[in-house]
Amino acid sequence: MEEKARVLVLLQLFAVCLLFGVNGDPCEVNMCSNGGTCVPGTGTPFICICHDGFSGDTCNETETGACNPNPCQNDGVCEATGHSRRGDVFNEYVCKCQPGYEGVHCQTSIQGANLNAKKDVNDCAGQPCENGGVCRDLDGDFKCHCPSPFVGKHCQLRCISLLGMEGGGIAESQISASSVRYSLLGLQRWGPELARLHKKGLVNAWSAAAHDKNPWIQINMQRKMRLTGIVTQGASRMGSAEFIKAFKVASSLDGKTYTMYRTEGQRKDHVFVGNVDNDSTKTNLFDPPIIAQYIRIVPVVCRKACTLRMELVGCELNGCSEPMGMKSRLVLDRQITASSSFRTWGLEAFTWHPHFARLDKQGKTNAWTASTNNRSEWLQVDLLSPKKITGIITQGAKDFGSVQFIVSFKVAHSDDGKSWTVVKDETSKTDKCPDLTASVVWEKGTLQSRKLEALHLVRTGRISSWITTAISVPMITDNMSSKKRGKAILFLL
């Protein structure tokens, strides 16, 4: 049955490609099922924005939860972790991978991986980026620059969830505007909280006051989100059609400083084409996507009045399951510091520098080692800007045949490098200090058995914050159940 469904989808895509070749419009015939909205794509002929309850390339699959249909590949087991929607397609479930596979969706094979052989390999040679993504080769890794609305390590995920204007996931208190129109002797209030797509009723949209020369409507997403598009719609007032013909978009991280949206390489603010009547919808995609907490729609040309119903399209930031750059060297050497560094036999040539603390680093001196074995030592990574960190992988090393690794450690974070906050255990409220000698280790995406030697030499370590699964032994992933934000991360021995 599933095979027949795939064949049907492929035939539909083939038909669209033929049609696209004839008249250049892949959405002239809407191939999206179950009321899905067709939008011309960048790395693919078209993209379907599905209504809640449906998924798939053409919205042809019925959702009965985060794990149905199963998003995990290669026989990975899906485990639901929440029921909240609001566009959160990445944090609703966790994939438990079969041995030999890793990744958010168990999409990457690690069987037979030879870390030593990867030293001079072009990791982009296998064209790992999907959906028109552009690959950048890194040191032992790669990074895909994905066209909107695709995200993920391989640009394999579609960031096109409806974020809650129509469905109610966005509360009224999150919506504000520059002004409100009152009509019918002040009895009708066209407030910003009414600006919800397909809203019914006599008063069913936001409309700016007639005297407002610089109108806008704004949504506070309450946290930083990835916004990939907007669906707009006008309304009818007293039998007369009112809608926004053209508009601009501004965004902000703090609600104070706003940046007008511009396409890459352009110096002028981008003007989006709006609606042509009061009832039909118009979808515009953001390419590149907007990363912001506050999104503001600024009308440019309005018919009769600046009246709007809308929906936002996007997803949670997919930054909680991707490497931060320790292994790939996106984190530069100068960003890594430590309290001290050990020298084997006191020789400068055998110094175990802080910037050696990179996962799977090869060589004679291939890790950071503190000069003393006590609790005053630390290793620090400056991330340059606030980041969301959800986990850490650590790995030991050998000093001329002597196995060394960190048995336990604490983590502190800071926004200024001066005031530090130690991560607390949610149950005991004491400093969280994971024991690295456990035989069973939970890793995001897989549960594996690890046999670690419980040595007391605790001063050597290599880190990567954060990758989805471990690659070699000894290695451990410690998940931070409550995500920590900070500009700098400090590892306390």
Q: Give me the pLDDT at residue 5, please.
A: 54
pLDDT tens figures, 253-271: 999 999 999 987 788 999 9
In a domain, residue 340? The reply is: yes
For the chain, how long is the longest CA-to-CA vector? 89
In a domain, residue 156? The reply is: no
Out of 91-95, 239-243, 327-331, 369-373, the most confident range is 239-243
Residues 488 and 374 in one domain: yes
- String of DSSP letters for 11-59: HHHHHHHHHHHHHS-TTSS----TTPEEEE-SSSSEEEEPPTTEESTTS
In a domain, residue 73? The reply is: no
Residues 204 and 344 in one domain: no
Residues 306 and 372 in one domain: no
Residues 302 and 397 in one domain: no
Residues 284 and 339 in one domain: no
Q: Give me the pLDDT at residue 328, please.
A: 77
pLDDT, average across residues 133-162: 84
Out of 55-64, 198-207, 454-463, the most confident range is 198-207
Q: Which of 62, 152, 168 is nearest to 108 (CA)?
A: 152
Half-sphere exposure of 279 (CA within 13 A, CB side): 5
Residues 271 and 405 in one domain: no
Angstrom distance (rounded) from CA 488 to CA 418: 10
Domain end position, chosen among 44, 64, 84? 64
pLDDT tens figures, 292-339: 999 999 999 999 999 999 999 998 775 455 667 888 788 899 999 999
The 3-state DSSP class for residue 384 equals strand
Residues of the domain holding 224 = 162-316
Number of domains the chain is built from: 3
Domain end position, chosen among 64, 85, 115? 64
pLDDT, average across residues 179-196: 93
Integer Rg of the chain from CA: 26
In a domain, residue 181? The reply is: yes
In a domain, residue 87? The reply is: no
Out of 115-124, 137-146, 299-308, the most confident range is 299-308
Angstrom distance (rounded) from CA 259 to CA 352: 44
Half-sphere exposure of 189 (CA within 13 A, CB side): 5
Q: Give me the pLDDT at residue 94, please.
A: 76
- Cα separation values, 120 from 117, 320, 330, Å: 7, 28, 17
Query: The domain spanning residue 37 has which CATH number?
Result: 2.10.25.10
* Burial of 265 (C-beta count, 10 Å sphere; 0-12/13-18/19+): exposed
pLDDT tens figures, 342-365: 988 888 888 999 999 988 888 878
Yes or no: say if 167 and 85 are a contact pair by the CB < 8 Å rule.
Answer: yes
pLDDT, average across residues 276-287: 92
Task: Name the percent of the chain lying above pLDDT 70.
Answer: 75
Out of 161-165, 211-215, 320-324, 391-395, the most confident range is 211-215
Predicted confidence band of residue 197 (pLDDT cuts 50, 70, 90) = very high
Q: Which of 133, 125, 72 is nearest to 103 (CA)?
A: 72
Is residue 435 over pLDDT 60? Answer: no
The 3-state DSSP class for residue 250 equals strand
* Burial of 129 (C-beta count, 10 Å sphere; 0-12/13-18/19+): buried
Considering only 58-67, 189-198, 221-230, which range has the smallest mean pLDDT? Answer: 58-67
This prediction has a pTM of 0.53
* H or E element in which residue 278 lies: none
